[in-house]
Amino acid sequence: MGFARVFLPLLIFAVLEIMVISAVAGLIGWPLTLLLVVATAVLGSVLFRRQGLETWLRLNRRVQAGEMPGQELVEGVMLLIGSLFLITPGFISDAVGLVLLIPYSRRALAHWMIRKGRIGAFASVGGSGFRQGDFNGWPFRNGRGNVYEGESTVQTEPGPGRRTPLTLDNDENGSQHGSR
């Protein structure tokens, strides 16, 4: 079933690309169509080089400032995917590639993906370290339950390498602590 989920969309995409290339060739002729396909591949290479350098410089500035460059990392992946789409022969893939390589649409799409939680982004915590998660909450507040702070110790039973399971114990103040 996993193979069909990957193969079928790729097959449909390839058939659509062939149909569009054939339709364009019917309108303007095969030589000009092939020239357009090669020109978009060259354009993709040039745009990737230029936009990639700009994104790399922004990424370095954020790292030098002690911030995690989440937006820049997402944009870098989009640049790579967009250039691959432009290098791939076809006009549908070229349109998708151009959307990913144009700075304004790429930045807006990356910002939307991070904001909506489509991608685990990175944020700086107090300027001293990094955490992974969304930008809406404190580290570890992920909606999956309570967070318990405390200490844990390992207690071994007689015998080599045997450990007891981790449990939550209350101390004299009523605080919960993890222990084995």
pLDDT at 116: 79
User: Domain map of the chain by residue range?
Assistant: 2-133, 147-180
- Residue 98 identity: L
Tokens of 25: 């060739």
Tokens of 173: 């103040």
Q: Indicate the pTM of the whole model.
A: 0.58
Measure the CA–CA gap between 130 and 120, rounded to whole angstroms. 13
pLDDT at 31: 95
pLDDT, one tens digit per residue, over 42-94 is 888 888 888 788 888 888 888 888 887 778 888 888 888 898 898 888 999 99
pLDDT, one tens digit per residue, over 104-122 is 998 899 888 888 776 654 4
pLDDT, one tens digit per residue, over 130-179 is 444 444 444 444 455 555 666 666 655 555 655 555 555 555 555 555 54
